[in-house]
Structure 1
Amino acid sequence: MRSKAIAVSILFALSAPAVAADAAAQKLAQDAVIVDTHIDAPGGLTDHWAELGKDALKFEFDYPKARKGGLDVAFMSIYTSAKQDDDGSAWQVANEMIDAVEALAARNPDKFALLRSPKDVERLRQGGRVLLPLGMENGAPIGDDLSQVQFFFDRGVRYITLAHSAANRIADSSYGVERKWHGLSPFGKKVVAEMNRLGIMVDVSHISDESARDTIAASRAPVIASHSAFRHFTPDFERNISDELAKAVAEKGGVVQIPFGIAFVNPKSAADTQAHFRAIDELNKRNEALKAAGKPLESKDAFDEAWAKAHPAPPTKIDAVLDQIDYAVKLIGVDHVGIGSDFDGVGGELPDGLRTVADFPNLVAGLQARGYKDEDIRKILGGNLLRVWTAVEAAAR
């Protein structure tokens, strides 16, 4: 996966999608309010500047693609890594990404608008604007200072993924071999309470099962999984949500947002991803021993490059995502399912027919072909997430 796991080249398949969008699907995609809770464009902007108000070839999200696909609300992921948490740079990196999103909207006021509340969606999207709320992926920038939750709320963050690829001061990671807290930390419980107070959605994607259980129990507002597929399809891959936890999210009134990345929806790729994090853990242990012995360290970049070559993403069709949605609807109900693509965050490892934000009509066509009513498709595309966000705001008030 991208800078989060394995850096790979962005590849766009030439094959036709398994389900091509007809006029009815195109019309519904343009008319419905589509909300994608996880797009990693800010990381790309800080790595390689681009004008996303125009067609940006290296990005899966930009304004022309978004309008072609009918995307209205694109949560910009403010992602920081475990390494940045360790070296103390997470707060700085997060603010730089927020600055990049604000600058993008300021340069293109006719194309983008910052979004702070679901009540402003209809007003701000008039004229074809794409709305940009912020989701913080990894609570590392908060550090151990509870006042930073308010700080980032004031900067526009409206959900926080409590941890990412390693335990932090808040919670354990699903990827971590060793568990630091076996749930939420004492500080993490204060963070969840503060998020409830302010009206920030609490996100249980990426965190361990123990941490997710604690979080769902501790939150007095509905919680979300911003980009989690179902573990039913990928046994032993804790990064994807279990049936038990998905039901708990739904019972709390929340929503599970389905990602598109092959690493989440393809069993072989999920197993490779899990193995990669285990291998990285072993590499880190070897480097600790080498450092203690005063010997040269193994290169993580070289390791990742070799791993990517040895574990290419398997061919995957859009059906893998549609199967996830089918399973979710049967398990927890159509009112608790949404989409969190992870575009620009998985190194181009995406299914045929879902390569960029321009491809949402293909997803609509696939759902229509499987017999979903338009009103239920609207819920999945964004209505459910907006309902949950509204409920989180109401709980704060």
Structure 2
Amino acid sequence: MIKLSTLVVAISLALSSQANATTITASDKAIKLAKDTILIDTHIDVPYRLHDKWADVTKATDDGDFDYPRAIQGGLNAPFMSIYIPAHLEFEGKGKSYQLANLLIDSMEAIAQRAPDKFAIASSTADIEEQFKQGKLSIAMGMENGSPIEGDMKNLQHFFDRGVRYITLAHSQSNHISDSSYDIRRKWKGLSPFGKKLVTEMNNIGMLIDVSHISDDAFYQVIELSKTPVIASHSSLRKYTPGFERNMNDDMLLALKKNGGVIQINFGSSFVTAKAGSWGKQLKSTKESAKKEGTKLSNDFDAAYRAKNPYPFASLEQVLDHIDHVVALIGIDYVGIGSDYDGVGDSLPIGLKDVSSYPNLVQGLMDRGYSDTDIKKILSGNTLRVWKQAEAYAKKH
């Protein structure tokens, strides 16, 4: 007799195998273009992945979405590693978020020190460009959730000095800086008084402001206050996910263009299609109903549910639709890549399952008529532009 857990694993593996199939196969030209170009992905969650379970990503790993061999295969040479701080009340304002942020930064420095022939910490656009020439994979860092600032501008300078170059102001709950798009309690009705001061100080030191995760009101307040272009480091479009405030709508895109910023498209299926988002809500509802009925949930509950209700993975083509819409609405100069690899679990689209997959994206762009010049803007040119503008502003202030 086959155990339920064994059967579920077998079904899950079969589904995973199906999901890894792709209708787009990268040509030699697409692979070469990816590898010959600085390729910046503004959001990869390696630090917290390694915090949960250590793995030597300087070598091939058995799990996760990132390691050095796969990055090289995909042409990824300049990821922003996310210094992710969970949005727990036990972290906010109690020193724990500050401590965790420093610990995660330590882990990235350890990777660079472990394999200095492969990795190097990058804290400027000049670092990115020089390390690319040297054939090294740059580790840039962005902080996801501004909780570690803890209301003290000295901490902002501290993390800048440690190499953090953007801050996502809030995460899944409102904090002392900003309201969150996920949090129905709109404590600040946008930014807090401290948050408004923080935006100015981030401008002054050259720290990019990341508007992913924050509420719509907070977004427009940032746009009004910021003297430099902002980024949405890992967001997609509300056009394809109606009602999902975590993504950006067309009015926000138009405001982003006026600001000169960039939206980096998130690959997670629930960010790409409404169908995937609805699946997640249905799973949550089913679990809550079972708990109310007194049913004890097994460790295999999620896998068993997925076996009966296969997850509706987004496709690479649908990710490309998001890029197309940004380009059609506001132009080629305002879109980039923010995959959320190692941050969205096993919800990644067919054809974009890990960091080896960027050539598939490049091929898809080529197939849709994008020129090499335009593709290079998406891969890094647009992000480098806003980063350089932030650096230039800071030199004057």
Pairwise same-fold verdict (TM > 0.5): yes
Q: Provide closer, same or farther for how the CA distance between residues 87 and 203 of structure 1 changes in structure 2, counting only shifts above 3 A.
A: closer
- 2:314 maps to which of 303, 312, 316: 316
2-structure distance, mates of 1:238, 1:260: 16
Matched ranges for 1:20-99 at <5 A: 20-83=25-88, 84-86=90-92, 88=94, 89-99=96-106
Q: CA–CA distance in 2 between the matches of 1:220 and 1:379?
A: 22
Give the 5 Å matches for 1:148-167: 148-167=155-174
Distance 1:158 1:277 in 2: 35
Equivalent of residue 183 in structure 1, options 182, 186, 190: 190
Aligned positions, number:
374
Moved more, 315-324 or 369-378: 315-324
Alignment of 1:122-201 (within 5 A): 122-201=129-208
Change (3 A) 1:221 1:119: same
* Correspondence for 2:345 among 344, 347, 350: 347
Residues of 1 paired with 2:246 and 2:210: CA distance?
Answer: 13
Tell me the alpha carbon deviations over residues 208-239 of structure 1, each in whole angstroms, 9 at most, x when there is no partner.
Answer: 00010111111111101000000000000000
Looking at structure 2, the residues matched to 70 and 182 of structure 1 have their Cα atoms a distance apart, in angstroms, of 41
Q: Which has the larger radius of gyration?
A: 2
1:228, 1:257 within 8 Å by CA — same for their partners in 2? Answer: yes
Runs of 4+ residues deviating >6 angstroms: 274-280, 301-305
Question: Which residue pairs with 1:241 in the alignment?
Answer: 248
Q: Distance in 2 between matches of 1:279 and 1:254?
A: 40
CA 1:255–1:274: 2 relative to 1, 3 Å: farther
Distance 1:190 1:262, change over 3 A: same
- From the superposition, tell whether residues 308 and 247 of structure 1 become closer, same or farther in structure 2 (CA, over 3 Å): farther
- Matched residue SS, 1:202: strand
Following the alignment from structure 1 to structure 2, what is the Cα–Cα distance between the partners of residues 87 and 196?
23
User: What code does the residue aligned with 2:81 have?
Assistant: M
Give secondary structure in 1 for the equivalent of 2:369. coil
CA contact (8 A) 1:177 1:278 kept: no
Distance 1:302-1:243 versus aligned 2 partners, 3 A rule: farther
The 2-side partners of 1:232 and 1:392 are apart by 29
- Structure with the bigger RCO (C-alpha within 8 Å, sep 6+) is 1
**Structure 1 residue 120: deviation in Å?**
2.0
Superposed displacement of residue 116, structure 1:
0.4
2:334 corresponds in structure 1 to: 336
Q: Does 1:214 align with 2:221?
A: yes
- Asked whether the 8 Å contact 2:144–2:167 carries over to 1, the reply is yes
Corresponding residue for 1:293? Answer: none
Q: Pick closer, same or farther for the CA change 1:243–1:135 going to 2, 3 Å.
A: same
Q: Confirm or deny: 8 A CA contact 1:223 1:252 kept in the other structure.
A: yes
* Residue 389 (1) aligns with residue 387 (2): yes
Q: Secondary structure at the match of 1:128?
A: coil
Q: Which runs of 5+ in 2 are unaligned?
A: 1-11
Within 1, Cα distance between the matches of 2:252 and 2:304? Answer: 34
Q: Give the deviation of 1:121 after TM superposition.
A: 1.8
2:374 aligns with one of 348, 373, 376: 376
Using the size of structure 1 for normalisation, the TM-score is 0.88
Q: Secondary structure at the match of 1:125?
A: helix
**C-alpha distance in structure 1 between counterparts of 2:280 and 2:216, whole Å:** 18
- In the aligned structure 2, how far is the partner of 1:187 from the partner of 1:52? 38
Give me the CA root mean square deviation: 2.6
Secondary structure of 1:13 counterpart: helix
Please tell me whether the aligned partners of residues 78 and 135 of structure 1 are also in contact (alpha carbons under 8 angstroms): yes
Deviation at 1:352, TM superposition (A): 1.0
